[in-house]
Amino acid sequence: MGNIFEDIPEDLHNEVFESLVDNTNVRIERIISKGHTSPDTGWYDQDKDEWLILLRGAAILSFADKSSVKLKAGDHINISAHEKHRVSWTDPDTETIWLAIHY
């Protein structure tokens, strides 16, 4: 048992990826960002679909087709496998907490 809003590290120098469930069919992870963006070296290009919901904070996702979407708490999105995307902005003033389900 756990609480998605508890045990947030004080040091958020690096973005935090925590696996909550991981098996052959699904991976569920909590991601904590605070002013983080994806590395400039490339795009996420995942083998599985990803459904994510932003639970706290704000973020902007950018896609290889040059579209982008701004997310606020409660917004969710499904990203198809191999749909290249990156995090281009997260709120630097508060923790952005994501729940990502890879299936």
Q: Which pLDDT tens digit goes with each residue over 22-35?
A: 999 999 999 999 99
Residue 41 has pLDDT above 90, yes or no: no
Contact 61, 87 (CB under 8 A): yes
Q: Which pLDDT tens digit goes with each residue over 54-99?
A: 999 999 999 999 999 999 999 999 999 999 999 999 999 999 999 9
User: Could you tell me the pTM of the whole model?
Assistant: 0.91
Return the CATH number of the domain spanning residue range 21-102. Answer: 2.60.120.10
Contact 63, 83 (CB under 8 A): yes
The secondary structure of the chain in percent helix, strand, coil, rounded to multiples of 5, reads 0, 50, 50
Q: Which pLDDT does position 94 carry in this prediction?
A: 95
Q: Which pLDDT tens digit goes with each residue over 42-61?
A: 899 999 999 999 999 999 99
